[in-house]
Amino acid sequence: MIAKRDDWISPEEYLRIDRESQDIKYEYMDGHMYAMAGGTLNHDQICNNMVVLLRPPLQGKCRLFTNVRLQTPDTKYFYPDITVSCTPEDWQGRGQKDTFHTPRLIMEILSPSTEARDRGEKFAAYRRFPTLQEYVLINTKHQAVEVYRPYEDIWTYRQFDPGQEVELASMGLSFPIAAFYEFTEIPVKEES
Protein backbone atom coordinates (compact mmCIF):
# COMPACT_ATOMS: atom_id res chain seq x y z
CA MET A 1 0.00 0.00 0.00
CA ILE A 2 1.26 3.48 -0.87
CA ALA A 3 0.16 6.42 1.27
CA LYS A 4 0.08 9.83 -0.40
CA ARG A 5 0.94 13.02 1.45
CA ASP A 6 -1.57 15.57 0.10
CA ASP A 7 0.16 18.92 0.59
CA TRP A 8 2.43 20.09 -2.23
CA ILE A 9 6.16 20.26 -1.47
CA SER A 10 9.25 21.18 -3.46
CA PRO A 11 11.80 18.58 -4.61
CA GLU A 12 14.32 20.04 -2.14
CA GLU A 13 11.87 19.65 0.78
CA TYR A 14 11.10 16.09 -0.34
CA LEU A 15 14.82 15.20 -0.37
CA ARG A 16 15.31 16.68 3.10
CA ILE A 17 12.38 14.69 4.53
CA ASP A 18 13.35 11.47 2.76
CA ARG A 19 16.99 11.70 3.85
CA GLU A 20 16.02 12.38 7.46
CA SER A 21 13.48 9.56 7.60
CA GLN A 22 14.82 6.54 9.47
CA ASP A 23 11.89 4.17 8.99
CA ILE A 24 10.04 5.11 5.80
CA LYS A 25 11.17 5.69 2.24
CA TYR A 26 9.23 8.18 0.16
CA GLU A 27 8.81 8.53 -3.58
CA TYR A 28 8.11 11.94 -5.11
CA MET A 29 6.07 12.88 -8.13
CA ASP A 30 4.48 16.16 -9.23
CA GLY A 31 4.88 17.88 -5.86
CA HIS A 32 3.58 14.99 -3.73
CA MET A 33 5.32 12.40 -1.56
CA TYR A 34 4.26 8.77 -1.35
CA ALA A 35 5.27 6.58 1.59
CA MET A 36 6.47 3.16 0.50
CA ALA A 37 5.09 0.13 2.30
CA GLY A 38 7.01 -3.05 3.03
CA GLY A 39 6.89 -5.98 0.63
CA THR A 40 5.90 -9.61 0.99
CA LEU A 41 8.18 -12.61 1.47
CA ASN A 42 7.70 -13.56 -2.21
CA HIS A 43 8.57 -10.00 -3.28
CA ASP A 44 11.74 -10.02 -1.19
CA GLN A 45 12.75 -13.48 -2.42
CA ILE A 46 12.40 -12.43 -6.07
CA CYS A 47 14.55 -9.38 -5.33
CA ASN A 48 17.19 -11.61 -3.70
CA ASN A 49 17.05 -14.03 -6.63
CA MET A 50 17.72 -11.17 -9.04
CA VAL A 51 20.74 -10.02 -7.03
CA VAL A 52 22.15 -13.58 -7.06
CA LEU A 53 21.57 -13.89 -10.83
CA LEU A 54 22.76 -10.45 -11.95
CA ARG A 55 25.62 -9.55 -9.66
CA PRO A 56 28.27 -12.11 -10.73
CA PRO A 57 28.07 -11.40 -14.49
CA LEU A 58 28.34 -7.63 -13.96
CA GLN A 59 31.92 -8.05 -12.64
CA GLY A 60 32.35 -4.40 -11.69
CA LYS A 61 31.48 -2.99 -15.13
CA CYS A 62 28.03 -2.08 -13.89
CA ARG A 63 26.49 -1.84 -10.44
CA LEU A 64 23.27 -3.33 -9.16
CA PHE A 65 21.16 -1.35 -6.68
CA THR A 66 18.13 -2.47 -4.67
CA ASN A 67 15.72 0.17 -3.44
CA VAL A 68 18.05 3.14 -3.95
CA ARG A 69 16.64 6.53 -4.92
CA LEU A 70 16.50 7.25 -8.65
CA GLN A 71 15.97 10.78 -10.00
CA THR A 72 14.24 10.96 -13.37
CA PRO A 73 15.05 13.61 -15.99
CA ASP A 74 11.85 15.48 -15.03
CA THR A 75 12.68 15.55 -11.28
CA LYS A 76 10.59 12.68 -10.03
CA TYR A 77 12.10 10.34 -7.45
CA PHE A 78 11.44 6.62 -7.21
CA TYR A 79 12.86 3.57 -5.45
CA PRO A 80 12.88 0.81 -8.10
CA ASP A 81 13.16 -2.74 -6.77
CA ILE A 82 16.28 -3.41 -8.89
CA THR A 83 18.31 -0.97 -10.94
CA VAL A 84 21.54 -1.50 -12.85
CA SER A 85 23.73 1.47 -13.76
CA CYS A 86 26.80 1.23 -15.95
CA THR A 87 27.82 4.86 -15.41
CA PRO A 88 30.55 5.14 -12.73
CA GLU A 89 29.50 8.72 -11.91
CA ASP A 90 26.36 7.22 -10.34
CA TRP A 91 28.39 5.54 -7.59
CA GLN A 92 31.81 7.22 -7.56
CA GLY A 93 32.76 10.65 -6.31
CA ARG A 94 33.07 12.66 -3.17
CA GLY A 95 30.67 12.23 -0.30
CA GLN A 96 27.93 9.71 0.21
CA LYS A 97 25.86 9.06 -2.89
CA ASP A 98 22.19 8.38 -2.26
CA THR A 99 20.60 9.18 -5.63
CA PHE A 100 21.49 7.98 -9.09
CA HIS A 101 20.53 9.24 -12.53
CA THR A 102 21.58 6.89 -15.37
CA PRO A 103 19.92 3.47 -15.20
CA ARG A 104 20.50 0.90 -17.92
CA LEU A 105 18.06 -1.67 -16.50
CA ILE A 106 15.11 -1.17 -14.13
CA MET A 107 13.11 -4.04 -12.63
CA GLU A 108 9.88 -3.68 -10.68
CA ILE A 109 8.30 -6.59 -8.81
CA LEU A 110 4.56 -6.11 -9.20
CA SER A 111 2.14 -6.13 -6.29
CA PRO A 112 -1.60 -5.38 -6.24
CA SER A 113 -1.01 -1.99 -4.60
CA THR A 114 1.78 -0.84 -6.98
CA GLU A 115 1.06 -2.52 -10.32
CA ALA A 116 -0.96 0.34 -11.85
CA ARG A 117 1.75 2.90 -10.95
CA ASP A 118 4.56 0.60 -12.15
CA ARG A 119 2.84 0.12 -15.52
CA GLY A 120 1.60 3.69 -15.87
CA GLU A 121 3.15 6.72 -14.15
CA LYS A 122 6.50 5.14 -13.36
CA PHE A 123 6.98 3.62 -16.80
CA ALA A 124 6.12 6.98 -18.40
CA ALA A 125 8.77 8.67 -16.24
CA TYR A 126 11.35 5.90 -16.79
CA ARG A 127 11.00 6.13 -20.60
CA ARG A 128 12.52 9.62 -20.40
CA PHE A 129 15.93 8.21 -19.42
CA PRO A 130 18.20 8.21 -22.49
CA THR A 131 20.33 5.50 -20.80
CA LEU A 132 17.48 3.05 -20.07
CA GLN A 133 17.71 -0.03 -22.28
CA GLU A 134 15.21 -2.35 -20.53
CA TYR A 135 12.27 -2.11 -18.17
CA VAL A 136 11.30 -5.42 -16.58
CA LEU A 137 8.06 -6.21 -14.73
CA ILE A 138 8.00 -9.37 -12.64
CA ASN A 139 4.53 -10.71 -11.91
CA THR A 140 3.67 -12.04 -8.43
CA LYS A 141 0.21 -13.49 -9.22
CA HIS A 142 1.74 -16.15 -11.48
CA GLN A 143 5.10 -16.75 -13.16
CA ALA A 144 5.46 -14.24 -15.98
CA VAL A 145 8.12 -11.65 -16.76
CA GLU A 146 7.50 -8.71 -19.11
CA VAL A 147 10.36 -6.88 -20.81
CA TYR A 148 10.11 -3.50 -22.52
CA ARG A 149 12.94 -2.22 -24.73
CA PRO A 150 13.33 1.02 -26.68
CA TYR A 151 13.60 0.68 -30.43
CA GLU A 152 14.06 4.01 -32.20
CA ASP A 153 11.05 6.05 -31.01
CA ILE A 154 8.89 3.19 -29.67
CA TRP A 155 9.12 0.66 -26.85
CA THR A 156 8.81 -3.00 -27.77
CA TYR A 157 7.17 -5.58 -25.51
CA ARG A 158 7.81 -9.25 -24.84
CA GLN A 159 6.33 -11.55 -22.20
CA PHE A 160 8.23 -14.61 -20.98
CA ASP A 161 6.29 -17.53 -19.51
CA PRO A 162 7.18 -20.72 -17.59
CA GLY A 163 9.70 -22.90 -19.39
CA GLN A 164 11.24 -19.95 -21.26
CA GLU A 165 14.54 -18.13 -20.86
CA VAL A 166 14.17 -14.46 -19.98
CA GLU A 167 16.52 -12.46 -22.18
CA LEU A 168 18.03 -9.30 -20.68
CA ALA A 169 19.62 -7.92 -23.84
CA SER A 170 20.91 -4.78 -22.09
CA MET A 171 23.18 -7.00 -19.99
CA GLY A 172 23.81 -9.70 -22.59
CA LEU A 173 22.27 -12.27 -20.23
CA SER A 174 19.44 -14.77 -20.13
CA PHE A 175 18.05 -16.86 -17.28
CA PRO A 176 15.33 -19.51 -16.99
CA ILE A 177 12.16 -17.90 -15.70
CA ALA A 178 12.15 -20.50 -12.91
CA ALA A 179 15.31 -18.82 -11.50
CA PHE A 180 13.34 -15.60 -10.95
CA TYR A 181 10.81 -17.48 -8.80
CA GLU A 182 13.08 -19.90 -6.91
CA PHE A 183 12.05 -20.35 -3.25
CA THR A 184 8.71 -18.54 -3.78
CA GLU A 185 5.17 -19.83 -3.58
CA ILE A 186 4.07 -18.07 -6.77
CA PRO A 187 2.07 -20.43 -8.99
CA VAL A 188 3.28 -21.31 -12.47
CA LYS A 189 -0.10 -20.47 -14.04
CA GLU A 190 -2.62 -17.82 -13.09
CA GLU A 191 -5.22 -19.19 -10.70
CA SER A 192 -8.80 -18.74 -11.85
CA distance 69 to 50: 18
Contact 27, 79 (CB under 8 A): yes
pLDDT per residue as tens digits for the range 16-46: 999 999 889 999 999 999 988 778 899 999 9
Residue 2 has pLDDT above 70, yes or no: no
Question: Which has the closest alpha carbon to 98: 75, 77, 68?
Answer: 68
* DSSP assigned state of 83: E
CA distance 24 to 153: 37
Section 52-67 average pLDDT: 90
Mean pLDDT lowest among 56-65, 95-104, 112-121, 170-179 = 95-104
**Vertex 90 angle, CA 115 and 65, to 5°:** 40
Q: Hey, is 67 helix, strand or coil?
A: coil
pLDDT value for 192: 64
